[in-house]
């Protein structure tokens, strides 16, 4: 019930309430260079219909919610929200030094974002913990664009490149930076073995089905996920099924393949000299295992042995890059992020800025527990970027500007 402001008595509403909207008529000036244009003001960008504070708030909200939600909560169009985020991102990047200066250790990986097979190549700076460059697509030609954007001095400063075993990474590094240290990511090394182990299980499972061995089929189905996990992470049910791993096939191929997977996983954590001896032993054992999938993998490990040992020696990994990849994928997993476009791509400062705001709306921010920390393109953002106070999510914006 609507009540009177003075006495609080219930009364009938005679007019609908309207939002407060401040409109500023901008004077025109006669510029010798530009002609008759709108005068510049300190609280708005040229050509923008919103104040800088409003644009900063809109860009910050884009880091914790999708474009459709932000445009609805701030009562602006969907395209306007994307354009504002791009404008703020360009303004922040223009005030910072070049991200290509001082590169010494970089990591590269491709990741998918949005829905379907839409890939993005991401390059991170290991020392400054931020994304340096990104581009749609992946492969040798796309990664080559990164090196083409660098000056000869900037390319010469790079000393180390981390990534998976993709050949397009090796070819680009050999062409543009032949003297850098090539480091493989430990996670991808173990994933090679995990993939080979799963192929062994599938082959044995299909063979048991053809032979009508229902007991072996049931056992191999029960250890499908157990053999890929670390022993300490098994559930009680998986541990029980894992106890019969040696009896899954007559020759014990699955059990021996699992042993090789564990040996490869643990040797990556040992000191260099110990890891070198264990890696040689692993290659010998895998080459003579008489398991086709493992023998093929042993050839690959032998070929990449110098890179694996360099990984153990230097201790670099792509763990931080994988974390950035998860941030890139996060908006496409939000329930209301069904509408995306180029204006809502990760290039729009879509990772979060450092803030202590109490912004909290479960409906518009499904990942409400995720605390924004920094812009994944620009690194730690200046305090001027982060709005000191957020407008309530359903409040009508009052910072619109009408240019005369």
Instruction: Give the contacts of 30 (CB within 8 A, at least 6 positions apart).
Output: 36
Domain boundary pick from 286, 314, 342: 314
Same domain, 202 and 158: no
- Give the residues across from 183 on adjacent strands: 162
Any idea which of 17-26, 304-313, 322-331, 352-361 has the lowest mean pLDDT? 352-361
Same domain, 192 and 122: no
Count of domains observed in the chain: 2
Instruction: Give the contacts of 351 (CB within 8 A, at least 6 positions apart).
Output: 63, 131, 324, 327, 328, 372, 374, 375, 376, 377
Same domain, 163 and 191: no
Same domain, 299 and 321: no
Looking at the domain assignment, is residue 73 inside a domain? no
Looking at the domain assignment, is residue 374 inside a domain? no
Same domain, 214 and 287: yes
In this prediction, residues 304-332 reach a mean pLDDT of 76
Residues 156-213 have pLDDT tens digits of 999 999 888 888 998 999 999 888 888 888 888 888 999 999 999 889 888 888 888 8
Looking at the domain assignment, is residue 167 inside a domain? yes
Mean pLDDT of the chain: 76
Same domain, 165 and 133: yes
pLDDT reported for residue 403: 40
H or E, element range at 130: strand 130-136
pLDDT reported for residue 237: 78
Domain boundary pick from 282, 314, 346: 314
Residues 96-146 have pLDDT tens digits of 788 888 889 998 988 877 666 778 888 988 888 888 888 888 888 999 999
Model-level pTM greater than 0.85?
no
Looking at the domain assignment, is residue 172 inside a domain? yes
Using pLDDT thresholds of 50, 70 and 90, give the confidence band for residue 15.
low
Same domain, 170 and 257: no
Share of the chain above pLDDT 90, in %: 17
Give the domain range for residue 299.
187-314
Same domain, 283 and 226: yes
CATH code: domain of residue 176: 3.30.420.10
pLDDT reported for residue 10: 73
Looking at the domain assignment, is residue 404 inside a domain? no
pLDDT reported for residue 280: 93
Residues 39-60 have pLDDT tens digits of 888 888 888 888 888 999 998 8
Residues 376-394 have pLDDT tens digits of 344 444 444 444 333 333 3
């Amino acid at each position: 019930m609507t009540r009177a402001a003075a006495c609080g008595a219930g009364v009938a509403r005679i007019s609908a309430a309207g939002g407060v909207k401040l409109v500023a008529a901008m004077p025109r000036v006669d510029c010798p260079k530009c002609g008759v244009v709108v005068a510049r003001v300190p609280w708005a960008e040229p050509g923008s219909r919103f104040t800088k504070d409003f644009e900063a708030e809109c860009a910050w909200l884009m880091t914790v919610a999708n474009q459709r939600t932000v445009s609805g909560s701030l009562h602006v169009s969907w395209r306007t929200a994307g354009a504002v985020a791009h404008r703020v991102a360009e303004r922040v990047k223009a005030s910072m030094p070049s991200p290509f200066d001082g590169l010494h250790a970089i990591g590269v990986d491709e990741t998918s974002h949005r829905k379907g097979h839409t890939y993005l190549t991401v390059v991170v700076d290991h020392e400054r913990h931020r994304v340096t460059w990104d581009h749609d697509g992946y492969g040798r030609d796309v990664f080559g664009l990164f090196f083409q954007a660098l000056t000869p001095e900037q390319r010469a400063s790079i000393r180390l490149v981390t990534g998976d075993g993709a050949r397009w990474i090796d070819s680009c590094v050999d062409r543009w930076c032949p003297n850098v240290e090539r480091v493989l990511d430990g996670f991808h090394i173990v994933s090679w073995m995990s993939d080979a182990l799963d192929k062994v299980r599938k082959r044995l499972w299909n063979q048991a089905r053809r032979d009508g061995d229902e007991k072996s089929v049931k056992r191999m189905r029960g250890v499908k996920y157990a053999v890929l996990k670390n022993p300490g992470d098994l559930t009680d049910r998986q541990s029980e099924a894992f106890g019969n791993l040696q009896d899954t096939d007559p020759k014990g191929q699955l059990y021996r393949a699992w042993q090789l997977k564990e040996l490869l996983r643990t040797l990556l954590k040992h000191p260099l000299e110990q890891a070198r001896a264990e890696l040689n032993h692993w290659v010998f054992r895998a080459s003579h295992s008489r398991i086709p999938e493992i023998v093929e993998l042993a050839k690959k490990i032998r070929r990449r042995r110098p890179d694996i040992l360099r990984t153990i020696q230097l201790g670099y990994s792509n763990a931080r890059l994988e974390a950035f990849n998860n941030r890139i994928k996060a908006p496409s997993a939000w329930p209301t992020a069904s509408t995306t476009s180029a204006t809502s791509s990760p290039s729009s400062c879509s990772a979060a800025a450092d803030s202590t705001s109490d912004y909290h709306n479960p409906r518009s921010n499904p990942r409400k527990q995720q605390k924004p920390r920094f812009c994944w393109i620009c690194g730690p953002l200046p305090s001027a970027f982060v709005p000191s106070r957020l407008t309530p999510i359903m409040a009508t914006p009052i910072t619109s500007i009408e240019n005369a």
